[in-house]
Amino acid sequence: MSTRIRTYSELRRIDTFEQRFKYLSLRGEVGRATFGFDRWINQEFYRSREWKTARRDAIARDRGCDLGMEDYEIHHSILVHHMNPIAIEDVYEGNLSILDAEFLITTTHRTHNAIHYGDESLLPRPLTERKRGDTKLW
């Protein structure tokens, strides 16, 4: 498992969507132990006022764009991804990094799954400009 700490400061210096994805990708690693039977703790955290404020601030900073990329607007269901997977101890101990915008990024559900499970086929593709006489659909 990777112990590299990912930060928004580093991410924003990356120019392309694909490179940002590679920076964030866990390559099939889900991260530290999941919440399992203690999933209620995770859900309680995501309903907290503190999380809702951190989430709102991350979305505003990223202008509602996938991985904070200008040409990748999210039109529905914005997720805010923890760039460094959180564990039950983080919630129990009140680890402030789980609310710190330096470690959060907006994303779509599909991109979020691609980050966790390494499936680049889930990533959005840029629109192809159509030209006069172009008969191919895609």
Q: What is the pLDDT of residues 40-93, one digit of tens each?
A: 787 889 999 999 999 999 999 999 999 999 989 999 899 999 999 888 889 889
Within-domain flag for 77:
yes
Least confident of 26-30, 90-94, 102-106: 26-30
Domain that holds residue 69: 8-122
- The Cα 74–Cα 100 span in angstroms is 22
The number of folded domains in the chain is 1
Within-domain flag for 87:
yes
Within-domain flag for 105:
yes
Position 120 confidence tier, pLDDT thresholds 50, 70, 90:
confident
Res 31: pLDDT: 46
pLDDT over 60 at 32, yes or no: no
Q: Give yes or no for a contact between 98 and 39, defined as CB atoms under 8 angstroms apart.
A: no
> Region 5-9: what's the mean pLDDT?
96
Position 125 confidence tier, pLDDT thresholds 50, 70, 90:
confident
Res 138: pLDDT: 56
With a CB cutoff of 8 Å and minimum separation 6, the contacts of 98 are 45, 82, 86, 90, 91
Within-domain flag for 136:
no
Within-domain flag for 137:
no
Q: Give yes or no for a contact between 104 and 82, defined as CB atoms under 8 angstroms apart.
A: yes
Within-domain flag for 91:
yes
Within-domain flag for 134:
no
Least confident of 23-27, 110-114, 116-120: 116-120
pLDDT over 80 at 37, yes or no: no
